[in-house]
Amino acid sequence: MKPVEGIALLRQLPTCLLFKRLGETEFDVSIAFARQFGESCVSDAFLDSLRFFDPITKDELSGSYHPFAMAEETLHLCQWVRIQSYERGIQFFIESAVISVDNVSLVVINAKAVQNNLFIAPEESSPVGKHITFNGLLSTLSSQLINTTSDKIDSLIENILGAFGEFCDLDRCYLFEFYDDTKFACNTHEWVAAGVTPYKNDLQALPMESMPYFNRKIKQEGLFKVNNVAYLPDDAAGEKEEFERERICSILCAKIELDDGIFGFIGCDITGSPYTWRDYDVKYLQRIAQMLANTLQNAHNERALQEAKQQLIEANLKLAKLVNIDGLTGIANRRLFDDTLQSDIQRNIRRKTPLSLLLIDVDHFKIYNDCYGHVAGDNVLIQVAEILKKTCIGSDDVVARYGGEEFAVIMPFTDMSSALKVAERIRNNIEHAAIVFKQSMYNSKLTISLGVSTMSFNHPISPTELIQRADAALYLAKSLGRNRVEVWDAQETTLR
């Protein structure tokens, strides 16, 4: 931009200005604007480094969205923008106008730094006003906490960090959690201003022994405050190296404690150039840390309660299994059989559908035990139970150990014809399992006998009667030589 007396005057004005000739791309700034970024003069390097971002979406404003492009389009621009140099980023409220200086049309942008900006000296803003504004922010965040649920904790923490970062015009704000007895730290949540590089993914499983100075300060004093990273002591060489890698010049961290001990810490930093943290900066961060501590404690308590409930549910399931499941075979026991038969009969009466019952006895099981021992006998019962489960594939069928070597199968919605087919299939599967039993009269193989009874929908009977009929059929099968299926065929009686 060619020197023009009016333009030279704009550079000297004690206000933050950005300006350029109408229709051109190169722009200039006032010295006052450059000083906001720690620059003593306006250099080409400084101008080339300036980038503009939307503070909400964090998208870079370029092309037709560049502030100067929009100022030329609308002639009067009013918006928030974050301006990032190679040293630091600052949030401004900008307004534009087109003026004429020395017969040259200029687009001029007036940039007002956020009044609660940490770079504003205390005398340039009202401490009382700032305190009131911060309390308003805390009140808003507290209201969100009251109405939140555990599944929204993470997003709420992100909102808290973002609100605090924007209020104080920070570059980064983050939450670290300690684990493995505070030997490691993990960056769980991070907010960064527009144009600032995030480091959350890099800062996982960070060994605290590599940062002994920070580790001691945050755990013993509860606070880590560094105005200028360049002046860290020699015993903080590891910390200094990491901070410089992240371009951190000033850093402030506060410990977060829960009922069961230290949880981690909340931190914020300024990149590009040093900043002297003030007392109210520390107090604000500590109040945010306490808010997060309350949030995390509530979440911790809720998780503990959920875990206790889950443990209770699992304990009840185990208890129910002990009460209702046969310990040897893993199928239903007599207690569950009785309860199920009672409820299934009532259901089938309501729906007017048949129900069948099988009673099964392992043939000459006492002789088998005497010949092969009780361990072998137990194994036989387990094998028989497995074959029963695999053969009875109805979704409502219940296979139970009725007692000793006797088993039972409840088959709702099953008539006599279908029950006989299932019973014969079970008998055949046991025989084909070829369980060696030399004293058996059937090819030295273990066999079973089965009795079948059915309750038809138009002649309901009691559970006791249904069992008695199946038991009578089973007795008949055994008396006729075993390894067979028999049906109770006496005239049915009605439920009394």
| Tokens of residue 301, six digits | 């308590």
Looking at the structure, tell me whether residues 152 and 195 fall in a common domain. Answer: yes
Query: If pLDDT is split at 50, 70 and 90, which confidence band does 58 have?
Result: confident
* Concatenated DSSP letters of 215-264: HHIIIIISEEEES-GGG--GGGHHHHHHHHHTTEEEEEEEEEEETTEEEE
Query: If pLDDT is split at 50, 70 and 90, which confidence band does 489 have?
Result: low
Annotated catalytic, 39? no
Looking at the structure, tell me whether residues 53 and 129 fall in a common domain. Answer: no
| Tokens of residue 409, six digits | 């199968």
Within-domain flag for 384? yes
Q: For residues 217 and 238, give the distance between their C-alpha atoms in angstroms, rounded to a whole number.
A: 14
Looking at the structure, tell me whether residues 236 and 343 fall in a common domain. Answer: no
Whether 118 shows a pLDDT value over 70: the answer reads no
The pLDDT assigned to 344 comes to 94
Whether 449 shows a pLDDT value over 50: the answer reads yes
Lowest mean pLDDT among 126-135, 219-228, 294-303, 321-330: 126-135
The pLDDT assigned to 347 comes to 92
Looking at the structure, tell me whether residues 98 and 141 fall in a common domain. Answer: no
| Closest of 490, 421, 429 to residue 459, by C-alpha | 490
Query: If pLDDT is split at 50, 70 and 90, which confidence band does 116 have?
Result: very low
| Tokens of residue 464, six digits | 């006791």
Query: If pLDDT is split at 50, 70 and 90, which confidence band does 457 have?
Result: confident
Active-site pick, 39, 405, 465, 486? 405
pTM above 0.85, yes or no: no
CB proximity list for 355: less than 8 A, separation 6 or greater: 344, 345, 348, 410, 411, 412, 413, 414, 454, 455, 466
Query: If pLDDT is split at 50, 70 and 90, which confidence band does 175 have?
Result: very high
Q: What is the mean pLDDT of residues 293-306?
A: 80
Looking at the structure, tell me whether residues 245 and 355 fall in a common domain. Answer: no
Helix (H) or strand (E) segment spanning residue 206: strand 206-207
Within-domain flag for 466? yes
Looking at the structure, tell me whether residues 134 and 97 fall in a common domain. Answer: no
Domain range enclosing 348: 334-487
Q: What is the mean pLDDT of residues 262-287?
A: 91
Beta strand ranges found along 11-56 (DSSP E): 17-21, 28-29, 51-53
Mean pLDDT score of the chain, rounded to an integer? 88
The pLDDT assigned to 4 comes to 61
The pLDDT assigned to 59 comes to 87
For residues 252 and 277, the answer to whether their CB atoms sit within 8 Å is yes
Q: What is the mean pLDDT of residues 191-214?
A: 93
Number of domains in the chain: 3
Q: What is the mean pLDDT of residues 471-479?
A: 96
The pLDDT assigned to 147 comes to 66
Looking at the structure, tell me whether residues 414 and 362 fall in a common domain. Answer: yes
Within-domain flag for 395? yes
Whether 490 shows a pLDDT value over 60: the answer reads no
Burial class of residue 455 in the structure, from the number of CB atoms within 10 Å of its CB (0-12 exposed, 13-18 middle, 19+ buried):
buried
Q: For residues 403 and 336, give the distance between their C-alpha atoms in angstroms, rounded to a whole number.
A: 12
Q: At 164, which CATH number?
A: 3.30.450.40
The pLDDT assigned to 201 comes to 93
Within-domain flag for 365? yes
Q: What is the mean pLDDT of residues 419-430?
A: 96
Whether 122 shows a pLDDT value over 70: the answer reads no
The pLDDT assigned to 48 comes to 92
For residues 20 and 106, the answer to whether their CB atoms sit within 8 Å is yes
Pairing of strands 485-487, 448-455: parallel
* 277-292 residues labelled b (16+ CB within 10 A) or e (exposed): beeebeebbbbbbebb
The pLDDT assigned to 245 comes to 93
Dihedral of alpha carbons 75, 79, 84, 88, sign: positive
Looking at the structure, tell me whether residues 92 and 196 fall in a common domain. Answer: no
| Tokens of residue 17, six digits | 């200005």
Whether 120 shows a pLDDT value over 50: the answer reads no
Q: For the sheet with 172-179, list strands across it.
A: 206-207, 184-192, 172-179, 261-271, 248-258, 223-226
Within-domain flag for 493? no
At 240, the amino acid letter reads K
The pLDDT assigned to 91 comes to 86
| Closest of 38, 14, 17, 37 to residue 28, by C-alpha | 17
